[in-house]
Amino acid sequence: MSHYFHALIHSPSSLPVPSSSPGGGAPAPSLIAASVASPSRAVRLQRAKASVERREQVMAEQGGTAALGWAARDATGVLSPYNFSRRVPRDDDVTIKVLYCGICHTDLHIIKNDWGNAMYPVVPGHEIVGVVTGVGGGVTKFKAGDTVGVGYFVGSCRSCESCGKGNENYCAGVVFTSNGVDYAHGGEPTKGGFSDAIVVSEHYVVRVPDGLPLDRTAPLLCAGVTVYSPMVRHGLNAPGKHLGVVGLGGLGHVAVKFAKAFGAKVTVISTSPSKRDEAIQFGADEFLVSRDPEQMKAAVGSMDGIVDTVSAWHPIAPLLALLKPLGQMVIVGAPSKPLELPVYAIVPSGKGVAGNSVGGVGDCQAMLEFAAKHGIGAEVEVIKMDYVNTAFERLEKNDVRYRFVIDVAGSLGSAA
Ligand SMILES: [Zn+2]
Ligand SMILES: [Zn+2]
């Protein structure tokens, strides 16, 4: 997913420098495996683990809240129950009992240390819906009993240009919800939503509007805002626009729903003809099989924008041909090999290619209000916490329609 790049930029550990040669790009899995297996790395991990445990012990003694989560301990990615402490709430902190948490592809990459930046034990989860159980003295936006959401990040510098413009997601000091480095709180590795409770500054918490089904809302906190925010930014959120959605997975299926709710005409573009019925069922007007040259040719120059959600390598020139002059493609997937961008595909007709990673706090709040107004939710398979390892195995094989969501409160015991 798009968070791959964040992981590269903000990784606290040193990553192998990606090769710029064709076929390079991401660190080769074998390289990562080798570095994980080397004794010096194992020793470093051991020391880091010991220091984390010491910090947690100190925190618990200082009055942190006991929490129960599920954590991966090493690159096997296998999760098991894990007792730890949440920080002592500060003035601007909200304590949240986690009700539901979605499973994102990013979680899978992190627990398996695919990006070489895992800080075990890793408690995944950044698609969190919960209820407020306590607020600090300075909290103004929330009170106990409020239904709230937490997405991909729980902190940022709040003083840079990006933060000033509400693009906290692009702040150089962004703190990820899971496996992030919490600079403002002693450099603690953050622990995500696969846990009974979480403590988050109110600035990074959003309100879940009444009427939204909470399980179907959880994936909107990452997958939803990832596709909603670029549609708004690039002006594709208007009736009469024709939008292409490439790939019909966790991101793509909510992209179709948002685009239809904006009043756009939507065409789903997929390699597999078998997805046609579901695409139409989610509201798509048309369906294009990208491997069928005749179908692709007939659609050349017809679209105002394209949201490309595909994480596997794929040719983009045929997709760019589908855009009208000055049309905009937005890439939200993260193939590990560089995509090919021939200039002829964009220069003569002034087309744009942009990236997008989740959205700011304001975007996320606006997205939820919009979802509530239009009855938009993700298609989910709700699971118990003890099914999580099987869920990750299935996710790895793309065997999910369309997002796993863990019933955290219903299967992990109640929060403090
Ligand atoms: Zn995600
Ligand atoms: Zn900032």
Supply the pLDDT for residue 37: 41
Mean pLDDT of the chain: 88
Ramachandran assignment for 15, one of left (phi > 0), alpha (psi -120 to 50 degrees), beta (any other): beta
| CB under 5 Å of ion ligand 2: residues | 156-157, 160, 163, 171
Does domain 223-355 sit in CATH 3.40.50.720?
A: yes
Contact present, 169 and 137 (Cβ < 8 Å): no
Q: Which residue has the higher pLDDT, 134 or 41?
A: 134
Domain ranges in the chain are 19-215+404-411, 223-355
pTM: 0.86
Spatial distance between the Cα atoms of 224 and 255, rounded to a whole number of angstroms? 7
pLDDT in tens, 230-241: 999 999 999 999
pLDDT in tens, 146-193: 999 999 999 999 999 999 999 999 999 999 999 999 987 888 899 999
| CB under 5 Å of ion ligand 1: residues | 104, 106, 222
CATH code for the structural domain at 19-215+404-411: 3.90.180.10
- Is residue 350 predicted with pLDDT exceeding 60? yes
Supply the pLDDT for residue 81: 96
105 alpha carbon to ligand 1 midpoint, in Å?
Answer: 6
Ligand nearest to the CA of 159: 2
Q: Which residue has the higher pLDDT, 35 or 386?
A: 386
Of 34-38, 53-57, 120-124, 137-141, the poorest mean pLDDT is in 34-38
81 alpha carbon to ligand 1 midpoint, in Å?
Answer: 22
Q: Which residue has the higher pLDDT, 26 or 87?
A: 87
Ligand nearest to the CA of 184: 2
Bridge partners for 95 per DSSP: 134, 199
Supply the pLDDT for residue 184: 79
Supply the pLDDT for residue 54: 55
Contact present, 388 and 412 (Cβ < 8 Å): no
Spatial distance between the Cα atoms of 145 and 330, rounded to a whole number of angstroms? 38
C-alpha pair distances (Å), 44 with each of 71, 116, 277: 19, 13, 51
Nearest-CA neighbor of 371 among 213, 202, 177? 213
Ligand nearest to the CA of 161: 2
